[in-house]
């Protein structure tokens, strides 16, 4: 039994439910709760609410990273791996994934945990104009000047910038930093590194990592950015492969999405019925941003009715609002592909692709089909539709000849799912293989004991 399945079984046993793991979760395939046989009564009696409830916009924050251990849902394996690499393995870490996966929230948790362990952390966020010099100086400015081993003597510098030479910086200058600071361990966090345009900057960071590792200097880098693989964000530098741990942040599991909603329910006093949880899990497809956004819109629609029990009508309102706010680029692409929603074959193909089984990183398996066309995650897509999807660059190959593809525009995937939710019955919009998650518990009861 996988560790993930064991965790689910433990969760259900905690609530007094005895179900087989296969009935509760299919790892990495985006399965969702079934609508059949669900008890719909909210169980409010067992709820344990906080002393002060918060507004939905404080509990569900799709546009803002989370801060603090109590605010973070899931990600414990990734948090543990990053901390182990930095503190025990004496390695540098690159945390990467597509946008909306929660990289910054996880980074916030890493920084908080390190600082609680008396590790000094410097942090800098890159932009398109960032270079090696500006990144290093930005990191030192983030530290208080009280950490300088030798006072700056009134020099016109900020923070600990005085620890750096007053000239253009070189990779070797990084190695001298710990000796010029009053700290035993220093972690430098470079966020949004994907925004750096100059290849020379990436090369200099790689060179600095190599020299730090060769000299066993007590300084580690945590580099964070949008990327599909380690080489894409840091560049190809074989000499530092053994010194760098790559952490590819996966999608949320179904249970993570349910836990996120449970936590928000407890903080806000709202109750999400099992059908609402099922539909959010299906539409989010493991993306934390979309899960947060859907839950927020659901709670806001419910609040407009001066109620706290989320209904199916609130879900319809939330979906309609998200469709109205869709990215214009996505609207144009969807309209062109489906002939303004009239091409039923393409609509079906898009929905098949959007709901196809995916792995933990959102990759779809595409295989040739006997009758022509392709099979995507078990769904048949005609050769005509597949050719049009490729021409429009809806999917892009992952790796070379791997047979795996990812959405080039994940917002299109969510738009397809929202369109299906708005125009089809819930039983049709949800996939046939959907299964039950916490069938007899309201999210209030779940949150009160989590």
For the residues 110-125, what does the mean pLDDT come to? 95
pLDDT confidence of residue 153: 60
Which of 4-13, 227-236, 389-398 has maximum average pLDDT? Answer: 389-398
- Comparing CA positions, the residue from 128, 52, 437, 409 lying closest to residue 255 is 437
Among the listed residues 294, 300, 297, 252, the one whose alpha carbon sits nearest the alpha carbon of residue 277: 294
Q: Where are the alpha helices (DSSP H) in 88-152?
A: 103-116, 132-141
Q: DSSP for 308-371, please give it.
A: SB--HHHHHHHHHHHHHT--HHHHHHHHHHHTTTT-HHHHHHHHHHHHS-B-TT--EEEEE-TT
Q: What is the reported pLDDT for 151?
A: 80
For the chain, the domains span 75-248
What is the rounded average pLDDT of the residues 72-84?
Answer: 91
How large a percentage of the chain has pLDDT more than 90? Answer: 65
Which CATH number does the domain 75-248 belong to among 1.20.1250.20, 3.20.20.70, 3.40.50.11540, 3.40.50.300?
3.40.50.300
pLDDT band for position 436 (cuts 50, 70, 90): very low
List the strands of the sheet with 404-407, edge to edge.
379-381, 374-376, 364-368, 404-407, 395-397
Distance CA 334, CA 349 (A): 12
Longest dimension (CA), the chain: 78
Those residues whose C-beta lies under 8 Å from the C-beta of residue 36, and which sit 6 or more positions away, are none
What would the pLDDT profile of 125-182 be if each residue is shown by its tens digit? 999 999 999 999 999 999 999 999 988 666 677 899 999 999 999 999 999 999 999 9
pLDDT at 434 over 70: no
Distance (Å, rounded) from C-alpha 251 to C-alpha 437? 18
Please provide residue 359's backbone torsions phi and psi, each rounded to the nearest 5 degrees. Answer: -85, -175
Higher pLDDT, 51 or 59: 59
Beta strands 395-397 and 219-226: pairing type? unpaired
Q: Identify the band that residue 370 occupies on the pLDDT scale cut at 50, 70 and 90.
A: confident
Q: Is the pLDDT of residue 303 over 90?
A: yes
State the chain's mean pLDDT as an integer: 82
pLDDT at 375: 94
Segment holding 395, helix H or strand E: strand 395-397
pTM as predicted: 0.80
Angle (deg, nearest 10), helices 103-116 and 76-87: 50
- At 3 the pLDDT is 40
């Amino acid at each position: 039994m996988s560790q993930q399945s064991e965790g689910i079984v433990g969760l259900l046993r905690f609530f007094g439910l005895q179900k087989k793991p296969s009935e509760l979760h299919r790892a990495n395939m985006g399965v969702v709760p079934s609508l059949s046989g669900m008890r719909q009564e909210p169980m409010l009696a067992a709820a344990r609410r906080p002393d002060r409830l918060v507004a939905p916009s404080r509990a569900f924050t799709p546009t803002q990273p989370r801060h603090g251990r109590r605010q973070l849902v899931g990600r414990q394996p990734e948090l543990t791996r990053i901390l182990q690499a930095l503190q025990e393995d004496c390695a540098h870490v690159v945390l990467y994934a597509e946008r909306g996966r929660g990289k910054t929230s996880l980074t916030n948790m890493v920084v908080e945990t390190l600082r609680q362990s008396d590790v000094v952390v410097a942090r800098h966020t890159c932009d398109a104009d960032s270079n090696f010099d500006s990144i290093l100086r930005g990191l030192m400015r983030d530290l208080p000047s009280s950490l300088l081993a030798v006072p700056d003597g009134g020099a016109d510098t900020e923070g600990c910038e005085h620890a750096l030479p007053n000239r253009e910086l070189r990779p070797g200058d990084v190695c001298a930093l710990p000796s010029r600071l009053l700290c035993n361990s220093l972690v430098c966090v470079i966020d949004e590194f994907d925004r750096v345009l100059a290849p020379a900057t990436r090369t200099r960071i790689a060179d600095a990592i190599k020299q730090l590792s060769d000299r066993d200097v007590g300084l580690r880098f945590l580099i964070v950015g949008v990327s599909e693989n380690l080489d894409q964000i840091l560049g190809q530098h074989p000499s530092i492969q053994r010194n760098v741990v790559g952490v590819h942040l996966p999608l949320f599991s179904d249970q993570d999405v349910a836990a996120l909603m449970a936590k928000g329910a407890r903080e806000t006093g709202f109750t999400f019925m099992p059908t609402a949880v099922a539909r959010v899990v299906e539409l989010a497809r493991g993306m934390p941003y979309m899960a947060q956004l859907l839950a927020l819109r659901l709670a806001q629609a419910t609040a407009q009715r001066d109620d706290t029990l989320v209904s199916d009508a609130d879900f319809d309102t939330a979906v309609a609002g998200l469709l109205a706010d869709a990215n214009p680029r996505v609207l144009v692409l969807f309209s062109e592909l489906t002939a303004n929603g009239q091409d039923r074959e393409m609509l079906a193909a898009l929905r098949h692709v959007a709901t196809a089984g995916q792995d933990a990183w959102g990759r779809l398996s595409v295989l040739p089909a006997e009758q022509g066309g392709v099979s995507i995650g078990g769904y048949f897509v005609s050769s005509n539709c597949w050719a049009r999807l490729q021409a429009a660059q809806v999917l892009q190959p992952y790796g070379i000849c791997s047979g795996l593809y990812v959405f080039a525009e994940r917002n299109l995937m969510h738009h397809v799912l929202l369109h299906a939710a708005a125009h089809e019955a819930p039983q049709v919009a949800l996939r046939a293989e959907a299964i039950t998650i916490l069938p007899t518990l309201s999210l209030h009861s779940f949150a009160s004991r989590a």
